[in-house]
Every structure is written in C-alpha cells, then in structure tokens.
Amino acid sequence: MSVITEANLDIRLAQTAEEVIQAQRLRYRVFYEGMGAVPDLSIAQTGIDEDKFDEYCDHLLVIDKQRQKDGLNYVVGTYRLLRRSIARLNDGFYSAGEFDLSRLDNYEGEIVELGRSCVDEKYRGKAVMQLLWRGIAQYVMEHKIGLMFGCASFPGTDTSVMASALSFLAHYNAAPSEWAPQALNERFVKMKILKKKQFDTKQALREMPPLIKGYLRVGGVIGNGCVIDHQFNSIDVCMLVETGNVTGRYQRHYLDKNQETAVQVTQ
C-alpha cells in the first residue's frame, strides 16, 4: 500500500523486521506496562509482545518522522492485519484461540482479521486514530476486503462491571447468525447479563471502550458470547464490520481527501 503523510506522521506497512520489532515494543508498553497484561518469561525478558502470527501478518504503522528510536523513525501506533488468504496458508487466525470462526466460511470473498491495535500514550488523540483508519481503508480497497473482524477488548476481567455495555451489544448489535463467530464452548461467557429494561443506554455507552464505539459507528456487530483473557486482563468480544459501511461513510472523508489535498504518496 502507499504511504500517507500528515504533518510529521506517516502511515504505511512495516517494511523491515526492525520496524516490526518497534511495533512489538510499542505493544509491550501499552498492553503490559500500561494495561496490566501479564507477560510470560520470554516476553518479560525482551520487552517485546510477539507471537507466531506476527511472522505472516501485515503490520500497519503510524511513524513520527521527527523522533528516532535505535536509529529508526519512531512507531507511535500500530494495527496487525491478517487476510484469510494468508491465514489459510499458515496457522490460521489469532481469534480462533478464543472464538469458533467456522461460520465465517459462509462469508464470501476476502476477509481480514484486525488485532493488536494500540497507540503510544503521548499520541492518543484523533490524529493517530484517524491515520490508522485511513490506512485500514486503503488496505481494504487494495485487497478487495468485504469483512473486517477481530477481538475487541474491555479492560479488566469482571463482566459485572461492564454488564450494561456487554448486554447492550448482545441485545442490539448481534452479527447475522449465518456468519457470526461464537466464543469457544470451554471459554464461553454470556453477554446478556441484563435484560433490555434493566440497563440504561447512556451508561452502556459510558462503559464502552473508544475503539469499540468507533466500530459501532461504522456498523460494527459482534459474535455470540465473550471470553475472559486473564493474560491480557481483558474481556474480549468478537467484533465484525462489513467494509461497505466503512467505505460508504469514511472513504470520501479519508481517501478522497488525500488526493484533493495532494498528501505525499509514495510506494
């Protein structure tokens, strides 16, 4: 995909192993140092969040060109992208460790798993998130992707604290049954904790992490059941977004704007 430049920030795919390591270091800072995830010994020793999927995923990076780290431009935001056509040639999807994805076979065309989304604490404003969405939109168009999905997380492991939000999602934002993933039987935790009349919608939205609210704004829906991830100190739902919703609402705002304002684009 092309490079998009906005002021001092670039967004593009990682081009070298060193850039992937920078993204993994950012993930470690955010997930383990910032959000209370529990690293295993090797991760704790290296300060790098890595797993077997990193090797064959695409890594979307937001880079601050005015800062340097180990002689490289500084990575301040990242997303990990895994297309179905690539997953089938390797070890599958990361989300399959938490959700039964078999019904996604009913969804025709290319799909992509989004994961490991994070932004450096000092850059958590609209600019970096908008760049990430612009990068994803470009990636989706380039690879003709019809569906995005992945684990989206609530902080903590106590579902009662997020009862309103989880119940709201289950009642009002369920994915179509013919292609909805379901939490694995041995990890299944029900989301309809409260009945519709038992929770306040405003409270539910207050409990919702910003990333999940962002997915909802572009028509996001969720699979059946959630999963407690004790290592990452989170409650995970399987979030799905048909890309027609993204391109319909955001393509003109993000992609067309790039062309009209002559943003620097390089290969």
pLDDT digits (tens, 9 = 90+) for 217-227: 889 999 999 99
Residue 140 has pLDDT above 60, yes or no: yes
pLDDT digits (tens, 9 = 90+) for 94-133: 999 999 999 999 999 999 999 999 999 999 877 888 899 8
pLDDT interval class at 245 (50, 70, 90)? low
3-266 homologous superfamily: Gcn5-related N-acetyltransferase (GNAT) (3.40.630.30)
Give the integer Cα–Cα distance in Å for 134 and 140: 10
Q: What is the pLDDT of residue 161?
A: 95
Contact present, 227 and 154 (Cβ < 8 Å): no
Q: In 3-state terms, what secondary structure has residue 228? A: strand
Spatial neighbors of 83 by CB under 8 A, at least 6 apart, are 58, 110, 111, 112, 113, 143, 145
Domain boundary assignment for the chain: 3-266
Q: What is the pairing mode between strands 234-242 and 145-155?
A: antiparallel
Q: In 3-state terms, what secondary structure has residue 90? A: coil
pLDDT digits (tens, 9 = 90+) for 181-235: 999 999 999 999 999 999 999 999 999 998 899 899 889 999 999 999 999 999 9
pTM (2 decimals)? Answer: 0.88
Give the integer Cα–Cα distance in Å for 211 and 117: 9
Q: How far is CA 195 from the centre of its chain?
A: 28
Q: What is the pLDDT of residue 125?
A: 79
Contact present, 190 and 183 (Cβ < 8 Å): no
- Which range has the worst mean pLDDT, 20-24, 157-161, 242-246? 242-246
Residue that is written with structure tokens 């935001």 in the block:
77
How many Å from the N-terminal Cα to the C-terminal Cα in the chain? 7
User: How large a percentage of the chain has pLDDT more than 70?
Assistant: 91
Residue 73 has pLDDT above 90, yes or no: no
Give the integer Cα–Cα distance in Å for 192 and 90: 35
Residue 260 has pLDDT above 50, yes or no: no
Q: In 3-state terms, what secondary structure has residue 177? A: coil
Residue 22 has pLDDT above 80, yes or no: yes
Q: What is the pairing mode between strands 265-266 and 58-69?
A: unpaired
Q: What is the pLDDT of residue 263?
A: 26
pLDDT interval class at 248 (50, 70, 90)? low
Give the integer Cα–Cα distance in Å for 228 and 97: 12
Residue that is written with structure tokens 């009642």 in the block:
171
Residue 265 has pLDDT above 70, yes or no: no
Closest CA relative to residue 97, chosen from 183, 26, 24? 183
Q: What is the pLDDT of residue 249?
A: 55
Contact present, 148 and 235 (Cβ < 8 Å): no
